[in-house]
Amino acid sequence: MTATYAGDYHFDFAETEAKAPAVTGRDPSRLRIRLVAIGFALIYAVICGRLVVLGFDHTAASWRMGGPAAAVAAARPDLTDRNGEILATDITTASLYAEPRNIIDADEAAEAISSVFPDINTTNLRHRLETDAGFIWIRREITAEQQAAIHRLGIPGVGFISESRRFYPGGSTASHIVGHVNIDNQGIAGIEKYIDDRGLSDLHQAGFALGGEMAPVALSIDLRVQHVLHDELAKAMERYQAIAATGVVLDVNTGEVMAMASIPDYDPNSPAQALQPDRLNRMTAGVYEMGSVMKTFNTAMALDSGRVSITDSFDASRPLQVSRYTINDFHGKNRVLTVPEIFIYSSNIGSARMALTVGVDGQQEFFRRMGMGGRIGTELPETALPLLPSRWTDISAMTIAFGHGMSVTPMHVASGAAALLNGGMMIPPTFMTRSEGEAQLLATRVVSEQTSDMMRYLFRLNVERGSGRSAEVPGYYVGGKTGTAEKIENGRYSSSLRFNSFLAAFPMDDPQYVVLVVLDEPQPERPGLGATAGSNAAPTVASIIRRSAPFLGVEPQPVGTQPGALLVTY
Amino acid sequence: MVSRADRSVLSEWWWTVDKPLLAGLIVLLVGGVVLSLAGSPPVAERLDLDSFHFVKRHLLFFIPTVLILLGASLLTPRQVRRVSLIMLVVMIVLLIATLFVGEEIKGARRWINLGSFGLQPSEFIKPAFIVVCAWLFFENAQRPDIPGNLFAILLLAILVALLVAQPDFGQTILVTLSWGALFFMAGLPWIWVAAISAVAVGGIFFAYSALPHVGERIDRFLDPSSGDNYQIETALESFQRGGWLGQGPGEGLVKRVLPDSHTDFIFAVAAEEFGIVICLTLVLVFGFVVLRGLSHSLGSEDRFSRLAASGLIVTFGIQSVINMAVNLNLMPAKGMTLPFISYGGSSMMAIAFGMGMALALTRNRPRAALSRDRAERWSPVARPG
């Protein structure tokens, strides 16, 4: 046996010696090792690639664990309006803490502290000071006098940390826009939360932004217009005894929100008020059956589909019967109406017939095109999802034609109307400043320019001759559409609870701004008078336009001249 | 400098050992000590130990590790084979012993207590197993009358059974992959490569469906929202917080909440404190060691040395790749130490043993020595002189 092995060996060795290349060729292990090496090279390259990707990844999530640095209220940038007026700013305060481990006499310390803060729970404080903890807060954001008093007491084991405290000079004026922060100065609502979500909290994590200069964040709103809107809404709410009022002024060419308010609101300096259920931001976070203002969209849809021309007529002489439903008109004319008449007399029957001409699919597609299929995408975190019919039948199509059976936020209505009036371009609304050029990049065409021209004509017509007469402001060519919806009470539409709105724009020869005002459950001013949108929401809009147009840079035209755009007759 | 004329063991070693490869390994070992300062204090503090408890032990293991590395690299291929065979037998016995006398930690019996040091036989068995298998594959090609391949398969089955019994799925996967790579390099016909790959894929599917905790991990990797991905998410945050240049030594925060920050997730800790640039450097050093080792083993005339060296290098490479890929969320979570960097006495010394043997096998040996070695082995009759 041994000999055989020797023979094998010699043979093998000789071969290796004599024709090494041939052996290499036959032996697969060299090739295989090379393959394995290539495999490893590729895998290490992938790992390097992944590391490089992570290196360029600056979207680092806000770090959950947050060290002590994050617990201390961190500095935030100022928020200003478009003209640089301060909406929110930081002021420095002191916060009192204790290190129970270093407290010599907890009884004495608790006693001394409660002499400065009589409202503090002394027993509880003593228990906390007796523990072996390294750090506890005693009271956050104390006044300068309190700080001096504690300092004079000279208690060992207590100290102060300077903290930034958020202050809102405007109080409730723009509360739903700016939002508010929690005790740790972290944004928890409105634009405050938005700037945190956009990376401010990362900055804090990284140890920056603890007091250095931060560029102020300029919002699109104009504080003067915001004040006018807030003031007029508050007055209207009182005058018409409504439970809530909300309004918005939107630039139709840039999508910038110039002012937005929803009353009742709260003072962001004492944000606990915001927790009361009626303080929600109805403009973006409430969904409602908007009623007749939705005929604006129905009419635009019909005209833009090409199946209805502005000179067409529809029979509104008798109520429309569909299975077990009857559709009636509120201001019934009981005759055949033209499209402009349907719009200005707000005919439900005519609108329903127009919707049927377009059809269910066309209507569904149109409302989605108008952005009503999803949340309104602004910077505000508080948004609501529209409620669309789960089964979109002919009945749905007819009720949606006059604003029932589908709930959207008022902001959806305002931004949709801006698109219908600015020449047909849908521009997402924003609370940040934006130029017309930037807006053009975001814009998508939703209706043709001709349709937009016709909508301007109809809006103006409704204020000159229709239900919106009380919205007229001489010189500003206001146009608009009223909406008086009945609210649902105990599962039925109620005849006494109304949801009124007025959707306006001005000046109609070249629309610049959309103004939408909504009054929830307004009462008649005096018994016997009506409480339709034309009698409360429309005059509120008129007051807002009258007072804010000068700030918005819209010059009045001499009364009596007709704007050129409206000389077109249809 | 050692003279080339000096024919002592050390001088011969100095002139024949692959110095760049040795340098790469030493860089990794030193890097491990530095990173231990970052990764282990939080763990020690969580365990109520002295902050530098693990750092001190890491330093303590550093000396024997270097000695093992250098010592093993002095061996001749014959000695490598013999030491490995002895090591394999001893470690199989110890592996069986762990099942009975092992200390149960986190639900697994992997350690045998030797005073203050817990010996982990599954670490030491890996290099020995690879060398013995390389020998068996080599024998199979050399001497058809001995079914080397069959023995290698049986050996794998025994080892896998022992590892699963502990249980230690990480080592099982590593051993199986390394063994597969070795078999591949030994010249496994392509048809068999395809068949074994199919069995491996089947095995993964089996583990996915039959073993709930394996299935869960894979589910969580494929769809991160399906469960708790705490470790992986935290590790990724560590990379993001670190950025290119890191937060600076001692400035890491994520490591305070990252479990196993001194072992399985040391790479993420390195990223947070020292930055992605250092991580890239580490990857390059690992890549250098593996590619240098493989290309150097190609140069070896002796087929056994070539196979055994590349097998050892591949084991080292696979282990580093799995660890880094898990840290970077490129594959499902699997506990695996980063060779030479992670804390762990058994792991460090066993890897030093393996890499020392790889160094020994890749030494430039003159053909005469080669033939002498072979002659001794094959036929006492043919021994010259």
What tens digit of pLDDT does each residue of B267-314 get? 999 998 899 999 999 999 999 999 999 998 888 888 899 999 999 999
8 A C-beta contact, residue B25 and residue B69 = yes
CA distances from B210 to A271, A509, B171, B205, B221 (A): 54, 73, 19, 8, 18
Kindly indicate whether the domain formed by A68-218 is annotated with CATH number 2.60.120.890: no
CA distances from B334 to A43, A514, B55, B213 (A): 17, 59, 24, 11
Is A2 an 8 Å CB contact of chain B? yes
> What is the C-alpha separation between B139 and A467, in angstroms, rounded?
101
Q: Is the pLDDT of residue A365 over 60?
A: yes
Q: pLDDT tens for residues A112-136?
A: 999 999 888 888 899 888 887 778 8
> What is the C-alpha separation between A498 and A360, in angstroms, rounded?
28
8 A C-beta contact, residue A459 and residue A566 = no
Q: Is the pLDDT of residue A164 over 70?
A: yes
Q: Is the pLDDT of residue A207 over 60?
A: no
Marked catalytic residue, from A292, A346, A467, A548: A292
The pLDDT, as a whole number, for residue A493 is 82
Q: What are phi and psi of A318, to 5 degrees?
A: -145, 155
* The token pair that represents A279 in the structure block: 């303080």
The pLDDT confidence band at residue A546, using thresholds 50, 70 and 90, is very high
The pLDDT confidence band at residue B231, using thresholds 50, 70 and 90, is confident
Is residue B145 a part of any domain in this protein? yes
Which among A2, A10, A37 has the least Cβ separation from residue B294?
A37
Query: Is A292 an active-site residue?
Result: yes
User: Average per-residue pLDDT in chain A?
Assistant: 84
Burial class of A110 by CB neighbour count within 10 A (0 to 12, 13 to 18, 19+): buried
8 A C-beta contact, residue A451 and residue A420 = yes
Which one, of A92, A72, A95, A74, lies nearest residue A141 by Cα? A95
Least-confidence region, from A538-542, B215-219, B343-347: B215-219
Give me the residues of A, 14-73, that contact B with CB < 8 A: 16, 27-30, 32-37, 40-41, 43-44, 46-48, 50-52, 54-55, 57-61, 63, 65, 67
Least-confidence region, from A521-525, B76-80, B144-148: B144-148
Domain that holds residue B200: 20-30+45-362
Which among A43, A44, A60 has the least Cβ separation from residue B240?
A60
Query: What's the structural domain count of chain B?
Result: 1
The pLDDT, as a whole number, for residue A230 is 95
Please report the beta strands in A431-478, taking only residues with DSSP state E, as ranges in sequence order: 444-445
Residues of A in contact with B382 (CB under 8 A): 6, 9-10
The pLDDT confidence band at residue A210, using thresholds 50, 70 and 90, is very low
Q: pLDDT tens for residues B262-278?
A: 888 899 999 988 999 99
> What is the C-alpha separation between A281 and B85, in angstroms, rounded?
77
CA distances from B72 to A401, A546, B65, B300 (A): 87, 93, 11, 18
Which among B184, B237, B328 has the least Cβ separation from residue A32?
B184
Residues of A in contact with B284 (CB under 8 A): 44, 48
Question: What is the total residue count of chain B?
Answer: 385
Q: Is the pLDDT of residue A516 over 70?
A: yes
Residues of A in contact with B244 (CB under 8 A): 55
Across the range A300-316, mean pLDDT stands at 92
The residue ranges of every structural domain in chain A are: 68-218, 225-269+282-567
Q: Which residue's structure tokens are 């409206």?
A: A566
Give the mutation candidate from B238, B371, B378 for the A interface (greatest A CB count, under 10 A).
B378
The pLDDT, as a whole number, for residue A36 is 93
The conformational region for residue A90 under phi > 0 = left, psi -120 to 50 = alpha, else beta, is beta
Across the range A272-281, mean pLDDT stands at 85
The pLDDT, as a whole number, for residue B317 is 96
Across the range A250-262, mean pLDDT stands at 94
Least-confidence region, from A368-377, A506-515, A559-568, B43-52: A559-568
Is residue B382 a part of any domain in this protein? no
Question: Taking the CA of residue A568 as centre, how many other CA atoms within 13 Å lie in the half-sphere pointing to its CB?
Answer: 13
> What is the C-alpha separation between B267 and B337, in angstroms, rounded?
10
**Cα of B152 vs its chain's centroid, Å:** 19
B68 vs B369, which has greater pLDDT? B68
Q: Which residues of A428-457 are buried (b: 16+ CB within 10 A; e: fewer)?
A: bbbbbebeeeebeeebeebbeeebbbbbbb
Q: What are phi and psi of A485, to 5 degrees?
A: -95, 150
8 A C-beta contact, residue A352 and residue A292 = no
Is residue B383 a part of any domain in this protein? no
Q: Do B328 and A48 touch (CB under 8 A)?
A: no
The pLDDT, as a whole number, for residue B385 is 39
What value, to the nearest 5°, has the Cα angle with vertex A460 and ends A459 and A465?
105
Q: Is the pLDDT of residue A70 over 60?
A: no
8 A C-beta contact, residue A499 and residue A485 = yes
The pLDDT, as a whole number, for residue B247 is 83
pTM of the model: 0.53
Q: Is the pLDDT of residue A89 over 80?
A: yes
CA distances from A558 to A104, A474, B195 (A): 81, 8, 91
Q: Do A205 and B283 touch (CB under 8 A)?
A: no
- Where does B74-225 have alpha helices with state H? 77-101, 121-142, 148-165, 169-185, 190-210, 212-222
Of all residues in chain B, the one with the smallest CA distance to A2 is: B379
How far does the CA of residue A213 sit from the closest CA of chain B (Å)? 22
Query: What is the interface size between A and B, counted as CB pairs within 8 Å?
Result: 127
The CATH code of the domain at A225-269+282-567 is: 3.40.710.10
Is residue B40 a part of any domain in this protein? no
Q: Which helix (H) or strand (E) holds A251?
A: strand A244-251
Q: pLDDT tens for residues B36-49?
A: 988 888 888 878 78
Which one, of B290, B89, B73, B288, lies nearest residue B181 by Cα? B290
Is residue B369 a part of any domain in this protein? no
Is residue B94 a part of any domain in this protein? yes
The pLDDT, as a whole number, for residue A206 is 53
Which one, of A161, A169, A195, lies nearest residue A181 by Cα? A195
